Amino acid sequence: MIVILEGNDRAGKTTIANTLVKEDGFRYIHFGPPATNNFGKEFHLALVNELMTEIDAEHPRDLVFDRAHLGELVYGPLDRGETRMTGAQMEQIERLLHNVGTILVWVDTLPAVCHERSLGTTDEAPYSRFEQIHNAYEYAFERSSLMKIRLTDVEAIRTITKWFRV
């Protein structure tokens, strides 16, 4: 099973991923915020190559990705004024992910909660930033063609992953 966790900074993605790793044996892959990853202008090709390296259809394993392609669609325009992916490239990535049964989970934590969690950390930002990211994720999430779940609760995610394994 492959799960992609997307969502605002400080939404709880890494906490959920760590729970899936520790309690359910998932392998953890962290792409990080698109503004900080080193994929450069060839983001689409680098992401496809990275996904192909991690996803082996012949020998499937449980993987949890802490961000993937939607993060670029959200953070790219906010941080750089543009995304490094075209619509066709997004569709290609989604087909690849769909073919291996990926579940896209939007960890939809309220912007106010994310902002509060950021206070005093290295990624502290104004509330408006968390609200912008939230709104952009809502737009990107609705347009994804993957099997989608919108959650905030760690136990709900663990229940869902067990349900899909049956």
| pLDDT value, residue 38 | 53
Q: Two tokens at 77?
A: 């325009």
| pLDDT value, residue 58 | 63
| pLDDT value, residue 50 | 75
| pLDDT value, residue 107 | 92
| pLDDT value, residue 35 | 56
**Distance (Å, whole) CA 137 – CA 139:** 5
**Distance (Å, whole) CA 17 – CA 33:** 15
Query: How many angstroms separate the first and last alpha carbons of the chain?
Result: 11
| pLDDT value, residue 59 | 63
Whether the pTM exceeds 0.75: the reply is: yes
pLDDT in tens, 134-144: 999 999 999 99
β-sheet bridge partners, residue 149: 105
* Dihedral of alpha carbons 56, 60, 63, 65, sign: positive
| pLDDT value, residue 40 | 54
What dotted CATH number matches 2-165? 3.40.50.300
Q: 73: left (phi > 0), else alpha (psi -120 to 50), else beta? A: alpha
107 within 8 A of 151, measured Cβ to Cβ: yes
Segments of the chain scoring below 50 in pLDDT: none
* H helix and E strand count, the chain: 7, 5
